[in-house]
Amino acid sequence: MHPSDAPVVREISVADGKAGPYGITAGHDGALWLTFVHSGSIARLTLDGDLTVHPLDSPACRPMIIAPGPDGALWFTRSQDHRIGRITTDGATESFPVPTPGSGPFGITAGPDGAMWFTEMNSDRIGRITGEGEVTEFPLPVAGGFPSAITTGPDGALWFTLNQGNAIGRITTEGDILIHPLPTPEAAPVGITGDGTALWFVEIAAGRIGRITVDGDITEFPLPDRTAKPHAIAAVSTGSCWFTEWGANRVGHITSSGEVTEYDLPSPSSEPHGIALGPDGALWVALETGGVARVTP
């Protein structure tokens, strides 16, 4: 659907097409923080449009997902050199190696225990890193599951997608793990978010949005365009989530009843990836072709 009362969408150029804005989050400083996956940089964008780019020590480290930490800094995954990065709001950076070689860290989120939790795509593990850089790894009971995005659930556990395992996983801060298989085969879940009551996730290969309760009950909602390739998802309130459609150049909104509304982005083939709720109440979307979209509901 494309209703006449569609939100206002404004695009801001933040890089050339070679940098690759990918992950985005709101920092504790009231700004947006982005990963530039191709150029190996972290960018800070204020609500007024002021941009600061911080190059990392390795241009080929492939920074992916970024999240605010309990220490006020931003933490991010480096999937190519298998490290976890940290950047302060004034731009000081450091990074810590993941113990398992070739782990391919991807998703990251602040846990309820004062640490950051992350996924290891290549090694079927969930990692935990303290503010001092001490890493603990928890092996999953799945081979080749490709753990992807991760978020803290309303139950105080960490919830994550298994992109190739076709499941949603749950791990407690003590390391107890549950795996919930998806009803749809080969759905390839990626992004996941919590709305304060349940978890919402996207199925990039099946063109669906899923909801899972903390008890493991799963509901799937098909998108009008099943080839849209939904990628990332962010909750704005209970039963209200926004998501990116990487394959269709759109952002979408879904309600608790499964009602989906979709909106085209202004620039064609802009490759929307990460999405985050900004401190201004708007949705901010990273566009891999070099921009950021601000969506005002």
Report the alpha-carbon distance of residue 164 to residue 268 in Å, rounded: 29
Task: Compute φ and ψ for 117, nearest 5 degrees.
Answer: -120, 140
Distance, first Cα to last Cα, the chain: 15
Question: What residues contact 19, with CB distance under 8 A and at least 6 apart?
Answer: 36, 38, 39, 41, 290
Q: Do residues 26 and 278 make contact, with C-beta atoms less than 8 angstroms apart?
A: yes
Q: Which residues are annotated as a binding site for substrate?
A: 231
Catalytic site includes residue 38? no
Q: Do residues 26 and 277 make contact, with C-beta atoms less than 8 angstroms apart?
A: yes
Q: Which residues are annotated as a binding site?
A: 231, 271, 288
Residue 241 class from Cβ within 10 Å (0-12 exposed, 13-18 middle, 19+ buried)? buried
Sign of the dihedral through C-alpha 297, 33, 111, 220: positive
Q: Which of 38, 82, 253, 273 is catalytic?
A: 273
Q: Which residues are annotated as a binding site for Mg(2+)?
A: 271, 288
Catalytically annotated residues: 273
